[in-house]
Amino acid sequence: MDKTEITRENVAEAENKLFSAQLVSDVDILDQLLHDDLVAVAPTGQILTKEMDLNSHKAKTMVIEDASTEIDDIKITGDTALSIVTMIAKGKVMGTPIEGKFRYFRVWKRFDDTLKVIGASFMQLP
């Protein structure tokens, strides 16, 4: 990635890399893409951290069995981008089956020559 510019293509590539890592619980890739000070808000209002996210993949308490994503929009302001992604997924959270359509809002920020998620929120759509 160009160190001086953040583009829609860079963000889309990072989103796709994140999605692929989530599907197989690749903790190493997730560790690279999530900022250490990540703050995410779950549909319940619970505030999640990078450590919590990584631990859920390590412990397999969040398992995605089948999923697809579509990037709805990307807005860029300086070295920060906002992405809106829709995911259709089926899986289990803490052993409880979950299935449906979800909307993710992520804040990506450039750090040197890489993008990292610094903030996120997600909800299940009707």
What kind of architecture, by CATH, is found in domain 8-125? Answer: Roll (3.10)
What are the sequence ranges of the domains in the chain? 8-125
Q: How far is CA 63 from the centre of its chain?
A: 14
17-74 residue pLDDT tens = 999 999 999 999 999 999 999 999 988 899 999 999 999 999 988 888 899 999 999 9
62-108 residue pLDDT tens = 888 899 999 999 999 999 999 999 999 998 887 888 899 999 999 99
CB 121 within 8 A of CB 104: yes
